[in-house]
Structure 1
């Protein structure tokens, strides 16, 4: 067996492409070749380390392997250095795990995929000069015919859009059950698969937000959400922190604490449980640059008298609460 075939088998094993019989044969061959066994163990460690950087959406190892196979050169020499194996395996890891990657599925009819992993944000510039900032754990897919008659993309996650104006080519963002269409504007879309709502907040220009047979026209400062459970499209109020992840800042102006804690949940990706409904009546004002959750909770506790307990990534808010405002 030449080195190239060995690399191919390693990548197939780690991507989950083997049948049980192929996997058994692979391990039998490793036992017969100590050098290859040692090399595979090194590859496996790299794979496991990268596996800790998981995206919130489901990766497709089989698709990753197929795309990787398409990119391989057919005229490579039979003997390849181990370091070349590691480099190409790293490419395989990027395709499968999403280590801050840009997957370019080469070919005229293939879409482009841009993605981020947990804790990462990144700017993407499209062929029409539009700029899009992806929040963590976000997948943006750009259609293969982008910028021909239309500019079509799809989004899973959250992103801030700065769209170059082109009246002849509308920019269309598909999200789960909803569509956002613009000519040229800036706005934020939150479309997290695990959440019940898709939210749009407009910074400038005009946006068409539609779902099923309903449509809302949004202008500067307006927000709307689509309830995926009930298929309801509605205007939304008090979206002052819709861009918090983008500007790295949180601001509250006489906001009820249930709204405050909802924004903190979104920004810090934690669970916050309010133990007493009266706490929701309390109101809070504050502004935080480069916010830190525990510091914010301390400030809220001082101003409202609430306390909290922490368990892993979950916070329980306790206290007497406040009387409803008249």
Structure 2
């Protein structure tokens, strides 16, 4: 029995939809493969956690998703092989609270939810043919009146948008206190709750990025950020890697190494420390498609005459560094 079938049968048993024949098949499999009992127990534990959230937040799937996202970081399964399946099980419960099941027509009064967990990305196609790719650990809420007079969604996390053009119905994305309004374009929004900024990068078309106090009009290649604490909007520069998670490409154009290391931290989720403060003054140019961290660091070490050492999930960069640019 392969992993996918094991997951499917486990999900049916836990949801009470398994047939007698399938129950016998799963029981025999677990008897023949006793090591898989631990995997099933992990799936069952996550199912129970998400089920408790369903009972507690039956009228609020968004809160259920947020609570489960917090719980999963404190209860990481020891059998890493089953992490993805465990989170899928939980999502099956949470995303169907009060909605029937995952498939429904738009235009109903209830909102609709798409969620991704750690290590997962997902393409979503909306009723207007717009396409949205959710980055990991993100939540997209589709307004219940979507596809009528306006197209309204909410985002927590990060997503790449390809919006179908419609002159009569703007597409509006609400992220914390910032609002993005478009007619038809492609862009990336990063709106992670624990981070101090909401960031946007425009790939094509024209985008209105605004708060109650101010508005910025952005076109192709432009980037901006909203600072939550001060409620300030500002243009960004050198945001070549805003789409790195989506394009799987890292690009640097005469970038200072502190900026390079910040982008590497974002892409690879590792900590990078500079042993000498002058290292940040060195500059680097390069482009990497489907990069590995070791590959990038080796090229940087040759180009900037630095070296690096690894300890656990952290890297230390050593070298003489460079003088500040004039």
**TM-score normalised by length of structure 1:** 0.71
CA drift of 1:175 comes to 0.8
Higher alpha-carbon Rg: 1
Matched residues in 2 for 1:103 and 1:136: separation? 19
Q: Does 1:47 align with 2:40?
A: no
Instruction: Describe the shift of the 1:275–1:210 C-alpha distance in structure 2 as closer, same or farther (beyond 3 A).
Output: farther
Which secondary structure does the structure 1 equivalent of 2:216 belong to?
strand
Bigger Cα displacement from structure 2, 60-69 vs 258-267: 60-69
Matched residues in 2 for 1:176 and 1:206: separation? 21
Alignment RMSD:
3.0
Among 75, 86, 91, the alignment partner of 1:98 is: 91
Q: Is the 8 A contact 1:100 1:116 kept in 2?
A: no
CA drift of 1:99 comes to 7.6
2:218 alignment counterpart: 218
CA drift of 1:278 comes to 1.1
Q: Does 1:64 align with 2:54?
A: yes
2:67 alignment counterpart: none
CA drift of 1:299 comes to 1.2
Gaps of 5+ in 1: 1-9, 12-39, 52-58, 70-91
Instruction: Describe the shift of the 1:307–1:93 C-alpha distance in structure 2 as closer, same or farther (beyond 3 A).
Output: closer
2:296 alignment counterpart: 296
What whole-Å deviation, never above 9, does each CA across 1:229-264 have from its counterpart, x for those lacking one?
Answer: 222110000111111111111111111111111111
Instruction: Describe the shift of the 1:265–1:101 C-alpha distance in structure 2 as closer, same or farther (beyond 3 A).
Output: farther
**TM-score normalised by length of structure 2:** 0.71
Q: Is the 8 A contact 1:153 1:172 kept in 2?
A: yes
Q: Is the 8 A contact 2:58 2:98 kept in 1?
A: no
What whole-Å deviation, never above 9, does each CA across 1:127-163 have from its counterpart, x for those lacking one?
Answer: 1110001111211111111112211111111111000
Matched residues in 2 for 1:134 and 1:208: separation? 21
Bigger Cα displacement from structure 2, 96-105 vs 314-323: 96-105
Instruction: Describe the shift of the 1:95–1:248 C-alpha distance in structure 2 as closer, same or farther (beyond 3 A).
Output: closer
Q: Is the 8 A contact 2:46 2:89 kept in 1?
A: no
2:121 alignment counterpart: 121
Q: Is the 8 A contact 1:187 1:204 kept in 2?
A: yes
Instruction: Describe the shift of the 1:325–1:42 C-alpha distance in structure 2 as closer, same or farther (beyond 3 A).
Output: closer
Gaps of 5+ in 2: 1-13, 16-36, 60-84, 101-107
Matched residues in 1 for 2:178 and 2:114: separation? 20
Instruction: Describe the shift of the 1:100–1:137 C-alpha distance in structure 2 as closer, same or farther (beyond 3 A).
Output: farther
**Number of corresponding residues:** 260
Q: Is the 8 A contact 2:54 2:93 kept in 1?
A: no
